[in-house]
Amino acid sequence: MRGAGDPRPPGDDRHHGGDAAHLGLLDQGCDGVVPNGSLGEYQTLTDEERARVVRTAVEAAGDGARVMPGVAAYGSAASRRWAEQAAEAGCGSVLLLPPNAYRADRAAVRAHYAEVAAAGLPVVAYNNPHDTKVDLTPALLAELHATGHIVAVKEFSGDVRRGYEIAELAPELDLLIGADDVLLELALAGAVGWVAGYPNAFPVSCAELYHAAVAGDLEHALPLYRALHPLLRWDSRTEFVQSIKLSMDIAGRTGGPCRPPRSPLDGAVAADVRAATEKAVADGRR
């Protein structure tokens, strides 16, 4: 998926209609949606909920090519089943973490991506070594791309230098910005997409930032990046789900509560997120 993709938070049975309403972000600058990812709290959804979220996203988007669901699971067979469900629903691609139940070696990672790629949809690798403890290095990504198992990577390591190494080792592999607070740096390194968190709260301003960044328009992008960075950096912190949902609520979009074991923000963290969000609203960000 090229462009700015928005990982959407989940609803529950009472708010399932809100899942469809959330797809209005496609009319506000976002190029696609990414249900059942980390921000979507996929680990807390039942199988029925998870499948229904994908079907709802495709129906509401009106074009399944703009929907890239996360298909992470503890086992490769389960991830493949989710990829097959995504294909049946009409999705255009899937987002896949490496094995995350243990520290998988290179052979296990290769087998995992091969299994899911066999479902037939283009696979976007998700490199999040902080949480999975498995690092999809530029060399490993190049290998996975050379064997036809991935078409792109959501790069969330935070090491922006990797953008250049990925381009050297796998020039045809699409680089997607995976963390909001390195958007400008990875855009300048050649990224062609952004799997983003904060467009959930400020879609128009984030889309404006993204397009200026990938166009190399620093005169426009840099001031906006500086203005939004007090919010964007929360996407890389432990409390990213709660933070983005709180910002959504403050900005007039329904974020709602997280599912256990996540609990609401409190104290200084909540105050910091609230202050940054209220300033963005006051500055006319939307």
133 is catalytic: no
Question: What six digits make up the tokens of 20?
Answer: 């469809």
41, 68, 200, 206 from 4: Cα distances, Å: 20, 12, 11, 9
DSSP string, 55-120: HHHHHHHS-GGGB--B---SSHHHHHHHHHHHHHHT-S-EEEPPP-SS---HHHHHHHHHHHHTTS
Q: Helix %, strand %, coil % for the chain, to 5?
A: 55, 10, 35
154 is catalytic: yes
Which of these is catalytic: 154, 198, 210, 225?
A: 154
Which of these is catalytic: 126, 198, 210, 225?
A: 126
Q: Indicate the helix (H) or strand (E) that contains 137.
A: none
Please, are residues 127 and 141 in contact by the beta-carbon 8 Å criterion? yes
Residue whose C-alpha is closest to residue 67's, from 93, 36, 95: 93
Which residues are identified as catalytic? Answer: 126, 154
